[in-house]
Every structure is written in C-alpha cells, then in structure tokens.
Structure 1
Amino acid sequence: MSSKKEKWNYDFIKASKFFYTFSIIITLLGIICLAVFGLNYGVDFRSGSNVDISLSKNITAAQIQPILKQVGVDDHAEITVSNDRANIRFAKVLSETQENQLKTTITKDLDSKASFEVNTVDTEMAKELERNALYAVLIASVAIMAYVAVRFEWRFAVAAVVSLLHDAFLVISIFSIFRLEVDLTFITAILTIVGFSINDTIVIFDRIRENLRFSKQKTKDDLKTIVNKSISQTMSRSLGTVFTVFIAAFCLFVLGGESIRMFSLAMVIGLVFGAYSSIFIASPLWFALKGKQKNKPAPAKAKTAKE
C-alpha cells in the first residue's frame, strides 16, 4: 500500500503555477492579437463569395490571376492552389453574370473539365452567424455552471466554467496569433472541446467530492492532499480518453480533406489544452476557493462561567 502512495505522490497544486503562467501568457497574446487583428474569418463569417474549383490538371495561381482581371473581379481576391484544387475568395459578393463569366473563362482557357462550387454569404448573414456562434458558447457555459452548481457546489461550478472558457479562449487565441482561418466547423470544434473538457473536469470533481466524505479536512494542507490524491486516482482514465480522441483528431488533420482541416486542428489544440486544464487549472482553482474557507478563523466559543 505504501508503494502505491509513493507512486502517486505528486504535488499537482504546486505544479499548476507553471500552467497558470503559461495560460496567462497565451491569453494576453490572444487578447492583443484579437484587439489588433481580430480573427481570420472564412467565408462563413464574412460577406463575399468563395469559389472552390476541382481541376483535372495542375494549375498555378499565376494562371488564374489574369482571368480574374479579364472578368473584372481581381480586387481583394485571394487565390489558393493545392494539387488538383483551387480556391478563390472574394471580399465582395459576385453577381450571377460575373460568376458565370468566371466559370466559362476558366473552363475555356485553363481546364475544360473543371467543376465549380460557389458559396456566397451576405453581410447580414455573416453577422448573424457570428452572433449565434457566440450565443451558443455562452448558453453552453451557463447551462454547465447551473448543472455543476446543483450537483456539487458553487465553487466547483466556478472552477469548471473558468476551465472550459480557458480551453475555448486559448484555441481562439492560437487561431488569432497564427492567423488561421475560422469557419463554421471551427465553432463545432469549440463546442466539442467544451464538452470533452467539462467531462474530464467532472470526473475529477466527483472523485474529490467522494474523498471529502471519507476524510477529515482540518487544515488547508489536508485539503491539498485530497485534491492531489483525487487527481492521481483519475489520471489514467482522463488521459486515456483524451489520448484516444486526440489520435483520431490528429489522423483527420493529417489525412482528412481541406474542408475539415481547421476543425481537426482546433480539436487537436483544444484537446491538449483541455487535458491539462482539468488537472492544473480547474482543480487548483477549486482548491484556492475552498482553501479560503479553511483559513477563516473558527467561531469563538462561549465564555465559561469561570472566565
């Protein structure tokens, strides 16, 4: 029994200081980048047209550019070419005439077997999608906080929501810092990450609550021991679950198509952040909140008759 205790004798609370520092740095960088540059929205969140072209032969961006000038739609157009696919993003919505002219010219001058897929988002729709995405994350956070507060206590709820918002915002910060594209699949990834993060956090919190029932917590150090013990007892389960999903997400990122590339990348990044936030952010935060209760002086006893 003693050897087992020594095996898991690790101070997660002490180690959390490093992860708090790391998260604060990434958060500050993310806030600065979001304030200065914002997010690199895909066509789902910004008005304009997105033309996806499937090609039967290799074509370069330099070959497409003259055609855009010929059609008169070269202003603020972004061209991306990858193997047998080309993608053209326009900052403005193409008219039906411009769209047909572009298709005809590319088919005639570059590739007669080219096929096209055109997606268009107007300004109002882009704003509505962005607003609904924000509402989805906020509603999920409030619902989770209410659930945890009812099942456990308010300190668990605060720690859980801070942890999941930490995971979501760090993924957003990484995408902002490296100017990665944000589309609807990115929002799906954020909500999925929130789900996995709260699952791992609840597993640890449930074990903490169980250990609290059978342990005496007279001091803050006693509480610290319980938290470290609870994290150790759930470590293999939490990391095993996250690692399994991480492998699947990483394979999708490497082998999947371009349409799910950003979704897969967001999942990979979010799972890494979620794995350590449940252990080194949520649990230590609950300990900090609960520890204040232990530091409060005990109520004064009534004076005896002798006094």
Structure 2
Amino acid sequence: MRFKKKMDFVHLSKYFYIFSAALTVLGIVFLAIFNLNYSVDFKAGSNVDVSLSKNLTSEQVKSALQPLNIGHDPELTTGEKRVNIRYDSVLSSDQDAAIQTAIKKLDSQASFEINTVDTEMAKELARNAIYAVLLACIGIIIYVSIRFEWRFAVAAIVALLHDAFMVVAIFSIFRLEVDLTFIVAVLTIIGYSINDTIVIFDRIRENLRFGKQKTYEDLKNLVNQSVQQTLMRSLYTAFTVFIAAFFLMVLGSESIRMFSLAMVIGLLFGAYSSIFIASPLWLVLKKGQKQKVKSKPAKA
C-alpha cells in the first residue's frame, strides 16, 4: 500500500524541526534545573518493595513508618496490593527489620524485597549507562560511514541522538523515574531508529544511481520519492512494536512500566525522525556539496 497523493516531506520537515528544537530547549532547561528523577538504581539509598495480601493507602503506610524516625520521610508509591518505599539513605539491618515489623502490623502476610545501592555503585551504574549509549552511537557512525557516506552518517546520528534525547527530555519534564530499564529502552530505541533510517537511506542511494540530479529541486524530489516508497514499511514496523510496548505499559507489572513508557515515547519520535529529520538533513548536506561543485572555477 502506498499513498496515491505525493507529499512534500522536505517542506513539512521544517515544522518538525521547529517542534523538536523547542522540545530540545525545554528539555535542556529542565535537565539543567531539575536533572532527571533517578531511581535508587542511580543514586545511593534503599528501595523497599512490599507485596501485600490487601490494599493499603499511602496514609496508612506513612503512619506506620513515622514512629521509626528513619532519616527523611520516604517516597511512597502504592498500587494494587503493592507498595514501594524509597529512602535516600542506605538502611541498616536494624532499620530493615523495623520497617518489616511496622508493615506486618498492617498486613501479616506481607513479603519484602529490599534493594540497596551505595554511593560508589550508583556512580558506576550511571557512568556505565552513559558509556553504553556513547559506544552504541560510535558503532553506528562507523557502520553507516562504511556502508554509505559521511553525510548519511551525520544525518543518521543526529536523528538517533534526537530520538534518545527526546525520551530523556520527556522524562525530565514530567519527572518520570529513571531506572536501569530506562537505559535498556533507550538502547532499544536507538536500534529501531537507525533501522528505519537505514531503510530510507538505502532507497535514496538506490534512486541516486538511476537518475542525474543536477539541481537542488532534483535532489528534493528524489528524497520525497524515496520516503514515499518506504513510508508504509516504516509505519507498519513502528506501529506493530508500538502496540506491543503500549499494552506492556498498560497491562504489565510496575517493574517494567517505565521501560514500556520510554519505548512508547521513543517509537513515536523515531517514527517521524527518520522521515522528517534524517532525510531532509542529508538533503541539506548534499545541497552544500552541490553548491561547492557549482562554484568551483573551471580549469583553463
């Protein structure tokens, strides 16, 4: 299935550039002021995950924990027969036991899972997460440069970083919790993003072989034609993964909810970045090459 009506994707891209630029600036502002809402995976502290036999309100849990006087008031998240208690400090064994005793007064059948991260481990996890994303980007740059050319590589990496940063920006703006599964989601999004971009770039390269592009309009028409030819394939791929991620977010457990949400956000941004960010950016870079060749003086 293909659209019968030809669309000017290059013309439409300027609106997506404006939207992405505005969201990027907003994301940078929020990151500079508020940073990310890191989970216990990335900062020192203790996370107490409690499975219950009945539902408890946050007020009930808070009242039970208040007499313990363990540091600052913990962050509480309640769900269906579940409560999560997060402390910014590392709990001692006596404090662990006191919390379990207090909760069991409300529900004798409660079971506990306590995860503790010290300061050095938190720093190492954050550092390794950054390295993982950077190494993935470097590997993709090398691959695209070898398979295509440097202009394709630059456009692909800009679109890739755009998708990853959009997810980070959304999580920062809405103060969504960032844990280890978030990093997995970002790396997965990078993979899907570059896949869609490569498909379009491959079609652009193929169409370049069967025609002579003498002007910018020729290149523009070639990009529009290439995107048109691969559009439905890209949308079908993104939509099928989007459905799976969406229902994982809605019906999945609390432990993978942020992963699923990051996937949903990343897939939405990735669906349009390959079309409206990467391909038009390649056109801009290629236009610069055409202009240099045109302005080069002829030899006597």
- Note whether the superposition's TM-score is higher than 0.5: yes
Counterpart of 1:126, as a letter, is A
TM-score (normalizing by structure 2): 0.97
Counterpart of 1:128, as a letter, is E
**C-alpha distance in structure 2 between counterparts of 1:24 and 1:263, whole Å:** 25
Find 1:273's aligned residue among 269, 272, 276. Answer: 269
| CA separation of 1:114 and 1:224: change in aligned 2, threshold 3 A | same
SS in 1 for 2:213: coil
Equivalent residue number for residue 263 of structure 1: 259
Equivalent residue number for residue 22 of structure 1: 19
| CA separation of 1:14 and 1:112: change in aligned 2, threshold 3 A | same
Equivalent residue number for residue 137 of structure 2: 141
1:116-139 per-position Cα deviation (integer Å, ceiling 9, x unaligned): 010111111111111110111111
Q: Aligned-pair distance for 1:82?
A: 1.4
1:163 and 2:150 aligned: no
| CA separation of 1:146 and 1:117: change in aligned 2, threshold 3 A | same
**C-alpha distance in structure 1 between counterparts of 2:156 and 2:295, whole Å:** 29
Equivalent residue number for residue 13 of structure 1: 10
SS in 2 for 1:125: helix
1:212 and 2:208 aligned: yes
**C-alpha distance in structure 1 between counterparts of 2:60 and 2:173, whole Å:** 31
**C-alpha distance in structure 2 between counterparts of 1:301 and 1:261, whole Å:** 62
Q: Aligned-pair distance for 1:60?
A: 1.5
Equivalent residue number for residue 46 of structure 1: 43
Find 1:64's aligned residue among 50, 56, 61. Answer: 61
Equivalent residue number for residue 253 of structure 1: 249
Equivalent residue number for residue 203 of structure 1: 199
- Select the structure of larger CA radius of gyration: 1
**C-alpha distance in structure 2 between counterparts of 1:136 and 1:50, whole Å:** 25
Counterpart of 1:53, as a letter, is V
Q: Aligned-pair distance for 1:302?
A: 4.4
**C-alpha distance in structure 2 between counterparts of 1:270 and 1:105, whole Å:** 41
Correspondence 1:61-210 to 2 at 5 A: 61-73=58-70, 75-107=72-104, 109-210=105-206
RMSD of aligned alpha carbons = 1.3
Equivalent residue number for residue 231 of structure 1: 227
**C-alpha distance in structure 2 between counterparts of 1:139 and 1:300, whole Å:** 42
Q: Report if the CA contact (8 A) 1:68-1:74 is conserved.
A: no
| CA separation of 1:52 and 1:302: change in aligned 2, threshold 3 A | closer
Percentage identity across paired residues of the two chains: 64
| CA separation of 1:299 and 1:78: change in aligned 2, threshold 3 A | closer
